[in-house]
Amino acid sequence: MRLTFCIFFLLSVILIACQSGPQPPQANKIPKKLEAHGDVRIDDYYWLRERENPEVINYLEAENAYTEAMLADTRGLQETLVDEFKTRIKQDDTSVPYRLDGYFYYNRSVKGEDYKVYCRKKGSLEGAEEILLDANELAGDSTFFSLRFKVSPEHDLIAYGMDKVGRRFYTVYVKDLKTGKTLPDTLPNVTGNMAWANDNLTLFYSKQDPKTLRSFQVYRHVLGTDPSQDDLVYEEADDTFGVYVSKTKSEKYLFITSAQTLSTEVRYLDAGKPDGDFVVFLPRREKLEYSIDHLKDKFYIRTNLDAPNFRLMETRVGDSDPSLWQEKIPHREDIFLVDFEVFADHLVIEERKDGLIQLQILPWSEGEEFYIEFDESAYRAGLSYNPELATNLVRYTYESMTTPVSTYDYDMETQEQTLLKQTEVLGGFDRDNYVTERLWATAEDNTKVPISIVYAKGLEKDGSSPLLLYGYGSYGATMEARFSATRISLLDRGFAYAIAHIRGGQELGRQWYEDGKLLKKKNTFTDFISCGEFLVVQGYTSPDRLFAMGGSAGGLLMGAVVNMAPDLFKGVIAHVPWVDVITTMMDPDVPLTTSEFDEWGDPHRLEYYDYMLSYSPYDQVEAKDYPSLLVTTGLQDSQVQFWEPAKWVAKLRAMKTDRNLLLLKTNMHAGHGGASGRYGRYAETAFDYAFLLDLAGIKQ
């Protein structure tokens, strides 16, 4: 017996000695029985939900240490990448000013500082600069900082909210811009969403449930009064809806909007009568969405009423019955109405056709409508901030995967446009050195799925190039073909970058969204896989050179596709991934759950439970080989709770059969969006890129 033990001990020592490098943490298994519809699931890592548990914190910190150790050889590359970003991105920069009531508002970045300085000039751009808020001073030594603000109607006060944790709880203060002093009025633990009434004294703001984080109350605060005595103006009783306050472009009306995934209800109030009662414009009904703006004596309504791709209606203020509405822009089967902008003499329509934005100009009186022309095959265009009514200039932005963000003023009378600014990209960038294309993959059901791709000229389509494929595919969110100055560091090292415009987004109209949600959600995942396979067949890359990335609901996408097609990818980055679908959607106390049944379904109903279970990444983890994975989360994440990615990694680590990298990186001082400062974001991007480049065998 003693000899057997000695041999076993010796073999163990030899085995440990042979295991070079850091060893991954192993989370404790504490089985918890979860039962629904007669189905029993055993969750070994349910205990990781305990944010205040020291053992949970220790586990996350151990994973962080392991991740840093496993990518230690890339530290030099990470530093090189950060230096490239700083060299390429202008560190001292100023936004394009916008004019409002005789003031020119803008912000500027200062070299060495993380956050923006918000400023204005009175009368002209030649005037003296007035600093409204210096976010760097306000942030102090906080490891996280987020700022929201609203200037009052008379431009002499600014209400601003600060979040220094990342959980999206703001404290709102009011600053007197004439004296520079902060008023005693303080509104703690609010959403940061607010709107001024026209008396320059009353501030409406929304407040969230401290547990579920649902914005469900709107309060009215009068400056100089005790905030604890603020009037509760509205409380949303339906826990599937959230609320927010806003103001029309005309500044004539205040809105309280109750919204869920597929339904809205708007209440309005004359902004000059803040003590009045809000009136419902059109009562909520299932699957009816609408949004409103105001001009002269009319409301303009973008709605899906009898119009899946939305249409634009107009009605006199007070005539909210749909039978009294007049159609301004009809429903079109092949065009999705995205947004609209009212001006004194013109109406501007933002619409999407074949996945690309078009801007249409319509005079209110005489004249023909026309479009602003764009000439690249894949691009992103959209209305910018246009606060003035009495102007012939509409401001819009344009960019593509090879064209930096460009801001234009377009004269709607002369049809002449002026380039106000194109984001300057330093370091010898030349857009002619890169190619962007719009491709079309064929999905499992023969649906054509668009892909936007960019790469450096000279790329050989022989399968030898590494390629990063990005996707989202949820909530009807459209993934645009945007420019990225940091992405150049990948392109210059031989990577191609592609966006899969999969179902679940709204790139090809409302039906594109409908076909990627609820009981059709798997189309999102199979579309992404089809896009990856198409890029391989076309020679843009190969499975041992193909990488994927997505975040939040796009992290769900990543979790699903690595379960369904693990051999297609060399490596995957899943940012703040929502992967524990069933457990979260069964729990009404988890933030966002109740408001998202229209997106994912309600698993308390067996049909949805079974369908969700069939793709839920956490539940579908199997004992098989997976690609290398980098998973990120934030301890204070208010959207996807940190424990979802933590549990997923723990389960993968216990079950997967390969030796590929599995890394979990938790930002212990941030929420859903990661680092708040620009230099922190540079470091996070460099970390991601180093992970990809290292797997691709690119060391410099």
Please state the three-class secondary structure of 635-689 as a single string: CCCCCCCCHHHHHHHHHHHHHCCCCCCEEEEEECCCECCECCCHHHHHHHHHHHH
User: Average model confidence (pLDDT) for the chain?
Assistant: 94
| Annotated active-site residue in 580, 672, 676, 688 | 672
Tell me the pLDDT tens digit for each residue of 654-689: 999 999 999 999 998 877 777 777 888 899 999 999
**Separation between Cα atoms, residue 179 and residue 222, nearest integer Å:** 20
Within 10 A of 329 (CB to CB), how many other CB atoms are there? 22
Within 10 A of 244 (CB to CB), how many other CB atoms are there? 17
- Which residues are CB-neighbours of 154 under 8 A, at least 6 positions away? 200
**Separation between Cα atoms, residue 378 and residue 482, nearest integer Å:** 9
Q: Is 672 a catalytic residue?
A: yes
Specify the residue for token string 């001073």: 137
Specify the residue for token string 């932005």: 397
> Where does residue 193 rank: exposed (0-12), middle (13-18), buried (19+ CB within 10 A)?
buried
- In 3D, which of 255, 259, 252 has the Cα closest to residue 236? 259
Beta carbons of 223 and 274 less than 8 angstroms apart: no
220-233: string of b/e by CB count within 10 Å (b at 16+)? bbbbeeebeebeeb
Give the strand pairing for 298-303 and 290-295: antiparallel
**Within a domain: 534:** yes
**Within a domain: 125:** no
Tell me the pLDDT tens digit for each residue of 159-198: 999 999 888 899 999 999 999 999 999 999 999 999 999 9
Q: Has residue 7 got a pLDDT over 60? A: no
> What's the average model confidence in pLDDT over 103-117?
95
Tell me the pLDDT tens digit for each residue of 360-392: 999 999 889 999 989 898 899 999 999 999 999
pLDDT at 346: 97
> What's the average model confidence in pLDDT over 449-461?
97
**Within a domain: 179:** no
Give the domain extent around 551.
33-85+428-695
pLDDT at 19: 52
**Within a domain: 659:** yes
Provide the domain count of the chain: 1
Residue 117 CA neighbour count, 13 Å, CB half: 17
Q: Has residue 287 got a pLDDT over 70? A: yes
| Annotated active-site residue in 602, 619, 637, 694 | 637
640 vs 363, which has greater pLDDT? 363
**Within a domain: 421:** no
- In 3D, which of 454, 527, 460 has the Cα closest to residue 496? 454
Within 10 A of 362 (CB to CB), how many other CB atoms are there? 17
Q: Is 552 a catalytic residue?
A: yes
Beta bridge partners of 545: none
Q: Has residue 305 got a pLDDT over 70? A: yes
**Separation between Cα atoms, residue 481 and residue 373, nearest integer Å:** 17
- Give the distance from CA 157 to its chain's centroid: 30
Beta bridge partners of 221: 203
CATH code of the domain containing 51? 3.40.50.1820
- Amino acid (1-letter code) at residue 699: K
* pLDDT bracket for residue 638 (50, 70, 90): confident
**Within a domain: 339:** no
3-state secondary structure (DSSP) of residue 539:
coil
Tell me the pLDDT tens digit for each residue of 227-265: 999 999 999 999 999 999 999 999 999 999 999 988 999
**Separation between Cα atoms, residue 339 and residue 359, nearest integer Å:** 10
* pLDDT bracket for residue 12 (50, 70, 90): very low
Beta carbons of 454 and 120 less than 8 angstroms apart: no
Q: Is 637 a catalytic residue?
A: yes
* pLDDT bracket for residue 109 (50, 70, 90): very high
3-state secondary structure (DSSP) of residue 43:
strand
| Annotated active-site residue in 552, 616, 628, 676 | 552
Q: What are phi and psi of 685, to 5 degrees?
A: -65, -40
**Within a domain: 50:** yes
**Number of residues that make up the chain:** 700
Q: Is the dihedral of CA 47, 52, 55, 59 positive or negative?
A: positive
> Where does residue 123 rank: exposed (0-12), middle (13-18), buried (19+ CB within 10 A)?
exposed
Q: Can you read off the two tokens belonging to residue 6?
A: 């000695």
**Separation between Cα atoms, residue 160 and residue 222, nearest integer Å:** 15
**Within a domain: 242:** no
- Give the distance from CA 397 to its chain's centroid: 19
